[in-house]
């Protein structure tokens, strides 16, 4: 005798359970897809477009700067200072880098040093008051001038205020704000004075002029951060610190790119996004350092047929000014000519055999070799 069949309700219960599981999985899938899409959108790098907003610049000062209150100066610029972190690959290893950036515009444009982001696979920025980083795009980078523009998807940011280019003197108190050594939490604040102006520096990939020298303590991670006056206005972008080398000693020698150089460089970077980069001028000289303690850039050789050659510049001439602007060393001449264009005519003051003379030279295009 066969057992009776189970009640209908007992037979449909497994079917209902399977259906319920399927519905739950479907809903979970939709939620997962939505969340994943939101996360992907959050993590996606912004488009490489320059901001069309102007920078916040003040008119030249008439009155003296107030006495330095470090807390006040740091508090003014603090909302415009961001951390910059990078990831790069080298021989299969992942390398992390860090630096600092300055908010230029309310819609997410940021300036930092080119060396902070060069070679980076990903760049992230952490805004003041936030705990989570945001993906950033490198909009444009100029290794020779050591400046780069970044962009994050954000609105309502507080742009930094930039002092007038001429409103800085040797002895002025200044404050540096930046993420030294990528330490946890808020940026570090250090103070000092302007030690010198119009310094120059060069290496195989960059030539910088118009640098501000400061004794304000600067560390790795400060690069790209602001150097500000007692009003919290940016006077320069911190770029490097001198270190001891070959038996020499360096103490409290930090350098920042001055506003005089920064402002036209930002214009160039923005323009380079949609237009080819400007062709730099070419004078046609190779330089050698002076070893007699003198100032200026010593000519080691002259390219035949170049503007320098046609102007009569000779080997061992010392270039001491271009268009009336003093040239104190090799980097100053390289950077000055680089900022001009082929076809420009410049007045070059040289010292030859102890006598000064001025010649007119028309710049050309650097040979392709």
Assess whether pLDDT exceeds 80 at residue 33: no
> Binning pLDDT at 50, 70 and 90, where does residue 9 land?
very low
Assess whether pLDDT exceeds 60 at residue 105: yes
Assess whether pLDDT exceeds 60 at residue 88: yes
265 versus 94: which is more confidently predicted? 265
pLDDT at 42: 46
Number of helices (H) and strands (E) in the chain: give both, helices first.
6, 20
Cα–Cα dist 256/109, whole Å: 20
Assess whether pLDDT exceeds 50 at residue 6: no
pLDDT at 367: 86
Whether domain 161-272 has CATH 3.40.605.10: the reply is no
Q: Are 118 and 146 in contact (CB under 8 A)?
A: no
Side-chain half-sphere CA neighbours of 7 within 13 A: 3
Q: Where are the beta strands (DSSP E) in the chain?
A: 56-57, 81-90, 93-103, 109-112, 122-126, 134-142, 147-151, 161-162, 173-178, 188-202, 207-214, 226-228, 234-241, 254-258, 285-288, 297-302, 318-322, 325-326, 345-352, 355-362
User: Where do we find the tokens 């003040």?
Assistant: 58
Condensed to tens digits (0 to 9), the pLDDT of residues 200-235 reads 998 888 999 999 999 999 999 999 999 999 999 999
Cα–Cα dist 33/203, whole Å: 50
How do the domains of the chain map onto residue ranges? 161-272, 285-362
pLDDT at 249: 72
127 versus 33: which is more confidently predicted? 127
Please identify, in words, the CATH class of the domain defined by 285-362.
mainly beta
As a whole number, the mean pLDDT across the chain is 88
Assess whether pLDDT exceeds 80 at residue 244: no
pLDDT at 170: 97
pLDDT at 252: 82
Mean pLDDT score, 124-149 = 96
Assess whether pLDDT exceeds 70 at residue 87: yes
Residue 161, token pair as written in the block: 């205020």
Q: Are 218 and 253 in contact (CB under 8 A)?
A: no
Lowest mean pLDDT among 92-96, 187-191, 304-308: 92-96
pLDDT at 369: 65
> Binning pLDDT at 50, 70 and 90, where does residue 47 land?
confident
Condensed to tens digits (0 to 9), the pLDDT of residues 107-117 reads 999 999 999 99
Same topology between domain 161-272 and domain 285-362 = no
Assess whether pLDDT exceeds 50 at residue 25: no
Q: Which residues of 176-185 are buried (b: 16+ CB within 10 A; e: fewer)?
A: bbbbbebeee
> What residues act catalytically?
115, 146, 223
Q: 82: which strand partners?
A: 101
Condensed to tens digits (0 to 9), the pLDDT of residues 147-203 reads 999 999 999 999 999 999 999 999 999 999 999 999 999 999 999 999 999 999 988
Q: 126: which strand partners?
A: 83
Cα-based distances in Å from 224 to 64, 147, 167, 292: 27, 8, 21, 35
Residues in the chain: 369
pLDDT at 43: 58
pLDDT at 368: 79
Assess whether pLDDT exceeds 70 at residue 7: no
> Binning pLDDT at 50, 70 and 90, where does residue 251 land?
confident
pLDDT at 151: 97
The one-character DSSP state at 267 is: H
């Amino acid at each position: 005798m066969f057992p009776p069949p189970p009640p209908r309700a007992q037979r449909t219960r497994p079917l209902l359970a399977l259906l319920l599981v399927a519905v739950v999985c479907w809903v979970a899938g939709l939620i997962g897809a939505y969340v994943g899409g939101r996360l992907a959108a959050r993590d996606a790098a912004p488009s490489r477009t320059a901001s069309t907003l102007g920078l916040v610049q003040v008119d030249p000062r008439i009155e003296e700067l107030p006495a330095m209150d470090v807390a006040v100066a740091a508090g003014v610029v603090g909302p415009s200072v961001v951390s910059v972190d990078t990831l790069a690959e080298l021989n299969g290893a992942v390398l992390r880098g860090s630096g600092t950036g300055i908010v230029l515009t309310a819609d997410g444009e940021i300036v930092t040093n080119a060396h902070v982001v060069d070679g980076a696979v990903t760049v992230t920025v952490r805004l003041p008051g936030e705990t989570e980083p945001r993906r950033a795009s490198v909009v444009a980078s100029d290794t020779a001038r050591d400046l780069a523009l970044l962009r994050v998807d954000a609105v309502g940011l507080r742009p930094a205020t930039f002092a007038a280019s001429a409103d800085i003197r040797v002895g002025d108190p200044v404050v540096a704000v930046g993420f030294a050594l990528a330490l946890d939490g808020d940026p570090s604040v250090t103070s000092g004075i302007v030690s010198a102006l119009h310094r120059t520096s060069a290496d195989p990939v960059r030539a910088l002029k118009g640098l501000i020298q400061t004794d304000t303590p600067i560390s790795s991670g400060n690069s790209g951060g602001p150097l500000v006056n007692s009003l919290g206005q940016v006077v320069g972008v911190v770029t490097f610190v001198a270190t001891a080398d070959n038996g020499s000693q360096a103490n409290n020698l930090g350098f920042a790119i001055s506003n005089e150089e920064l402002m036209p460089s930002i214009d160039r970077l923005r323009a380079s996004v949609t237009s080819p980069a400007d062709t730099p001028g070419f004078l046609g000289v190779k330089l050698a350092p002076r070893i007699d303690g003198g100032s200026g850039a010593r000519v080691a050789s002259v390219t035949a047929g170049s503007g320098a050659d046609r102007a009569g510049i000779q080997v061992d001439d010392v270039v001491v000014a271009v268009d009336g602007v003093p040239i104190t060393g090799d980097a100053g001449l390289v950077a000055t000519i680089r900022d001009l264009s082929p076809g420009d005519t410049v007045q070059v003051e040289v010292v030859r055999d102890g006598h000064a003379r001025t010649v007119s030279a028309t710049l050309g295009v650097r040979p392709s070799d």
